[in-house]
Structure 1
Amino acid sequence: MSENSLEPFLSWFQKYGGSVDADLVGFAMFPESEGGRGVVALKDIPEAHVLFSIPRSLTLSIRTSSLPSRFGASAWQKMKLDQGWTGLILCMMWETARGTSSKWLEYFDTLPTHFDTPMFWNQADLTELAGTSVIEKLGREEAEQSYTEKLLPAIQTRPDIFSPEQAEYYSLASYHLMGSRILSRSFSVEKWNSGEEENENSNTPNSRADEMDVDSSEGPEGAEEKIDESHHDEMEEEDEEDDSSDTAMVPMADMLNARYGSENARLFDDENELRMISIKPIKAGEQIWNTFGDLPNSELLRRYGHVDLLPLSKGGLGNPGDVVEIRADIAVSVTAQRHLSLTSESSQERIEWWLEEGGDDMFVLESDLELPEPLISLIRLLLLEQGEWETARRKGKPPKPKVDAVILSIVHDVLETRLKAYPTTLQEDEGKVSEQISTNVKHAIVVRMGEKRILHDTLMKVRDLQTQGNGKGVKKREGAEDSGSAQKRSRK
């Protein structure tokens, strides 16, 4: 899309108080591998330069749309539209249905109308993701349940607001489209005093989901920074009334593409506006990237419908940020086979205690091949004799993540078991990915290849450690936490 075709949007953006440094910032079409339409540096841009600014009132959220106040604050909460994304999705549906009466008409014209994310794949393509965590995180059934149990009843109670003649704007297909727009393009912004809008919607707190965080700390030119790296799956319905941020669609900011290790601009909070600021010098002709967290290909595919293929340190192409998730139940099952005196009742008791103490139910392997310390600690907990277990529970301390020959043997079997979840081998994938196949299938193969490489390399490391002697040389990762955390980023 050329800059000329964006003229209505740019005129709208400036009409409502947005500003762009048009001398330095332009728009261009890049190859699909680089994100498609994006933002480009027209001239050399210095570090800490304001590329554009967006008035907070121009962002679209349940605080800036007038729908919640028209619906009624108490009714909005009663219908649970203040939880998860359902309320924002409904606002976007309603604003779209309003057409020229909506403040955001020109903005909607810039949003994608089609997504290549697995949410929209057919069943045959989805089977290619078997073994990955993508399927479990799609949340399609949960999303459609939310549509049926929350959104439709809300619409049906207010035909004066949601005209039955405009039913196509409130369809399930539209619901998935708006949800995908939020998943791929929303930001988490700090709440602010918005005057009349604040008073209208002050009783409609929203729940943050997979949106991208906005920095609000002492950043360039005095901007304030707040970085929250928590992560929630799509359509998660946690009630976070004490949350200090809003999920919002941010015009202009969502036009920047994202790529692993390429971020050169970041969005910062000010009292009355958001500002996109360069965080390093950008050469003329370079794309301006706003990544905020380097996601693995599994998450890139789930949220945005693409994967990163970059040179890897060990050769080949892939995503250096790829990870593999291992469910705790795999570790429990494998360990139980080694500790025959561990009854199912005792095992369940230990697992419940582990979770109550904040232990992980999912362990993450990264490309650095470090063995997750929480995984080792859980295995040791399950291996404790009854008296040792009772002592650990009384003290409230899980076992230290010490590695020995027994632990390495169990970890080895856990990794082997995890590999069996994929219906194909790494060698088969490497042969198939070069064939004439659809984009969806290729992306699925790229995701599982990245995960399998990490599993294979970690297995090799475990075998080397076994050869060296009972895990000597296993070190605690500097700055490691007892529990892993997933980064959160939402962008196209």
Structure 2
Amino acid sequence: MDAVSGLLDWFQASGGFLDKSHVGFTVFPDCGRGAVALQDIPEGHILFKIPRDLLLSTETSALPGHVGLARWREEKMHVGWVGLILCMMWETAQGPRSKWSKYLESLPATFDTPMFWSALELEELKGTSVVEKLGKADAEREFREKLLPMVQSHPDLFPPDTIPVHYTLEIYHVMGSRILSRSFDVEKDDPEDETEGEEAGNTSLGSAMDVDAPQEDAESIHSGASEHAGQDEDAEEEAEEEESSGVSMVPLADMLNARYGSENAKLYYEKDDLRMVSTKSIKAGEQIWNTYGDLPNAELLRRYGHVDMLALPNGDLGNPGDVVEIPADLAVAALHMADSPITRERIDWWLEQGGDDVVVLESDLEVPLALVALIRLLRLTTDEWEKAVAKDKVPKPKLDDTVLTVVRAVLEHRLKEYPSSLDDDVVLLRDESLPLNKRQAVIVRVGEKRILTSAIQKIAAQQSDAQSSRKRKMQPQEGAETGRTSKTRRR
């Protein structure tokens, strides 16, 4: 905790306020370093205040100004995270000369996130959406094509002998992971905007905890930090449009842990500072929790390197927020449709209409309406298809027996994408010697498989009930005299 002591001394010497009588920092056995209530804390209590000039961002670092703001924007260093990553690298290279040296020293240098797993370890995540979301190749492309050329073209700012020390691909990934797991989306201080108390949210680019608006008139703007990866043209345009907000590293606020449904504090921004405020009463000795937005274990593992294991309604342990992502092309496969121009035309139109290429099955096991609408779209006759296009409307998500059969086939296809069965994984989790990364991967798989298995069972029961109902309707009512039965009775 020496780094923490240095951080707290720097924080208070730099104008930050910490209520040391109520808030302390310690290491929790199950979730590492975090904040603890030293005495009972009432709801609405200010735990600490962070002056805006202590935030580390491309707005507060001197690096963009040294490079030249025109050049900075010309090289698109303001788009995505590459600019902030470079600022953090440069500030680290300054050592004690950097305003944030004590803060940077306190940040983790290693991570348990899949970004740093071996190929063999990543195999354990097969079937989940985690690996394809890592964006490692895109991130490394941005390092080669944007960050490194900027560094090499400014030897005055980045002396050549410092490049192998402070500007390596490995450090780039570490800085990106710090942003992914700890950054916030903080609205800029606009002198003409008198709205205060906004919730400062974790950036949609891929962050961790929430920041809210001032306690009065607060509006939630949290999302979760953005992906440590490259962005396509549309994403770049979107990022440029979002320049009213800035991805920022927020000292002290990023030390709070989070757990599903446990939030008892939230970060709010005011004109001159950000404030961590208790959202409910907290007993002495309890952990002070922020929120990551109650994410599923797949996202918690990808972004932060941990999973939640809580009691579920059915008695199992897992994450109540778990979901299963289902690619739209599984609907095409379940319908045995060929990859033809006609199929691609319908999928493209679906996307143009605002449909997603991935639908989400949640733990409530309700069939996603988007999946129903997509299946109905793919099943349209040529005439029906042409009418839908003319009306510019996708089919209504009406769930009939035929569509339900296709939905079941989609879910069965999805379940087969995992290399092991649910029963096998449940048995595997009983092995206490399981390595951490493998254990967490199995926990992610188990949570998703339980949802899929339960949803399939629910659909099978619905189909069985419907079939039984149809049989009952087809059977003649007792006492009815029809056909041969009535003749026999007359005899």
Fold similarity call, TM over 0.5: yes
2:272 — aligned with what?
272
| Cα shift readout 1:43-66 (whole Å, capped 9, x = no counterpart) | 111111111010111000000000
One of 57, 70, 74 as aligned partner of 2:70: 74
Matched AA of 1:178 = M
2:10 — aligned with what?
12
1:442 lines up with 2:439 in the alignment: yes
SS at match of 1:62: coil
RMSD: 2.0
Distance in 1 between the 2:462 and 2:299 partners?
A: 31
> Which deviates more from structure 2 when the two are superposed, residues 235-244 or residues 151-160?
235-244
Rg (Cα) greater in structure: 2
Matched AA of 1:393 = V
Matched AA of 1:71 = V
Conserved 8 A contact 1:183-1:303: yes
1:394 lines up with 2:390 in the alignment: yes
Kindly state the Cα deviation for residue 211 of structure 1 after the two structures are TM-superposed: 2.3
2:22 — aligned with what?
24
Kindly state the Cα deviation for residue 234 of structure 1 after the two structures are TM-superposed: 2.9
| Cα shift readout 1:141-161 (whole Å, capped 9, x = no counterpart) | 111111011100010110100
SS at match of 1:447: helix
Cα distance change, pair 73–46 in 1 and its aligned pair in 2 (3 A): same
Report 1 or 2 for greater relative contact order, CA contacts < 8 Å, sequence distance ≥ 6: 1
In the TM superposition, 1:350-429 aligns within 5 A as: 350-429=346-425
SS at match of 2:156: coil
Kindly state the Cα deviation for residue 453 of structure 1 after the two structures are TM-superposed: 0.3
1:310 — aligned with what?
310
Kindly state the Cα deviation for residue 312 of structure 1 after the two structures are TM-superposed: 1.1
2:221 — aligned with what?
227
Kindly state the Cα deviation for residue 228 of structure 1 after the two structures are TM-superposed: 4.7
Conserved 8 A contact 1:225-1:269: no
Q: Which runs of 5+ in 2 are unaligned?
A: 193-202, 470-491
> TM-score, normalized by length of structure 2?
0.88
SS at match of 2:248: strand
Kindly state the Cα deviation for residue 468 of structure 1 after the two structures are TM-superposed: 2.5
SS at match of 2:112: coil
Distance in 1 between the 2:57 and 2:343 partners?
A: 46
Matched AA of 1:85 = W
| Cα shift readout 1:219-251 (whole Å, capped 9, x = no counterpart) | 2xx364342548853324222222121100000
Distance in 1 between the 2:280 and 2:144 partners?
A: 47
1:299 lines up with 2:299 in the alignment: yes
In the TM superposition, 1:230-245 aligns within 5 A as: 232-237=226-231, 238-239=235-236, 240-243=239-242, 244-245=244-245
Kindly state the Cα deviation for residue 332 of structure 1 after the two structures are TM-superposed: 1.6
Conserved 8 A contact 2:3-2:106: no
Q: How many residues align?
A: 451
Cα distance change, pair 64–193 in 1 and its aligned pair in 2 (3 A): farther
| Cα shift readout 1:420-476 (whole Å, capped 9, x = no counterpart) | 11110011111112222211111110110100000000001111111222899xxxx
2:464 — aligned with what?
467
2:60 — aligned with what?
64
Distance in 2 between the 1:232 and 1:116 partners?
A: 18
> TM-score, normalized by length of structure 1?
0.88
Distance in 2 between the 1:122 and 1:352 partners?
A: 36
Distance in 1 between the 2:27 and 2:10 partners?
A: 21
Q: Which runs of 5+ in 1 are unaligned?
A: 196-206, 473-492
In the TM superposition, 1:322-333 aligns within 5 A as: 322-333=322-333
Conserved 8 A contact 2:360-2:368: yes
1:262 — aligned with what?
262
Distance in 1 between the 2:220 and 2:434 partners?
A: 43
One of 184, 200, 223 as aligned partner of 1:187: 184
Matched AA of 1:21 = D
Distance in 1 between the 2:353 and 2:389 partners?
A: 10
